[in-house]
Structure 1
Amino acid sequence: MRHEDKLKEKYGSDPGFEVPDGYFEELNVSIMSKLPPYPEAPRSVDMSLWQRIKPYAYLAAMFAGIWLMMNMFHHVSSSATSLSLENPPEALVDMIDAGGYDMIPVFSEETDYDLQKDVSVNYDSFDEFEDDFGYELEPEYSAMQVSVSAKDSKKESRSV
């Protein structure tokens, strides 16, 4: 005999709970009587003229802004097509003619350390460097002591 059958034999198969007669018919009425009264739907308020046309005014402003942006882009792009390297704008030509602008870009694969080493090996004083490159040292730096160290040479102190 199974364990379940023994339990049914000992206690029976009656669950012990019964629903009273007419309970489910009265359940809806009793729940509804306990709820608070349902509030009335709010009445709609008349909208002003501005409230009614505001979405359309915003839509028109948005399209006007898009039209202005497209007009500006068209104006900029049409004026940009007339620029080329053969025909630069007058302001750029004036700057080049005035001098002071080196139009050749300098690209170097040497590091700063390599450049410093080359300068320290090739020049014994700042005077030679100034003569070769047309550079004039500012007076406040003229009395400065410079210590240059190269890979192959020992540290030496040079006066400027």
Structure 2
Amino acid sequence: MFAKEIYTGTKEENYGTLTYQLEHLVKDEPNRIANLANASALLNQFLQEINWVGFYLLEGERELVLGPFQGLPACIRIPLGKGVCGAAAQKGETIVVDDVHQYPGHIACDAASNSEIVLPLRDRNGRLIGVLDIDSPRFSRFDEDDVRGLNRFVEALSSYL
């Protein structure tokens, strides 16, 4: 599910290459927003069948605020515990939704989205600072390989935040 022809290995190998590229892209940049912007651009460039990828950042203790992203304009503020992003942040765990229309309390920012994966984002000290949100117009777009690969991607990114 990668757009570039350089990704010709297994899905696991492709995620490894993607994470390697991320590390070299952000390793010398101390600015969190710049690194998140490049990470969302990198994911948008290489993942197929997605229509939105970006970050929501924890503001205070009760809500997420829109951060760097690629895609159509999005919801700006999401309370913790609300929607997929708020639930993933509150629980501190990855959530995969095969059909967002069946998810209770789903917040629809883009009517074209049908599936979603949201991963907690932590800083280098392990503190929750937000979530990575990826939407797809395809139902059941994200599988266990995506969960493992994106978790490794987010873990690598966390060491630069």
TM range (shorter): under 0.3
Which one has a larger percent helix, Structure 1 or Structure 2? 1
More strand, by proportion? 2
Q: Report the TM-score when normalising by structure 2.
A: 0.16
TM-score when scaled to structure 1? 0.17
Ranked by relative contact order (alpha carbons within 8 Å, sequence separation 6 or more), the top structure is: 2
State which structure, 1 or 2, has the greater radius of gyration over its C-alpha atoms: 1
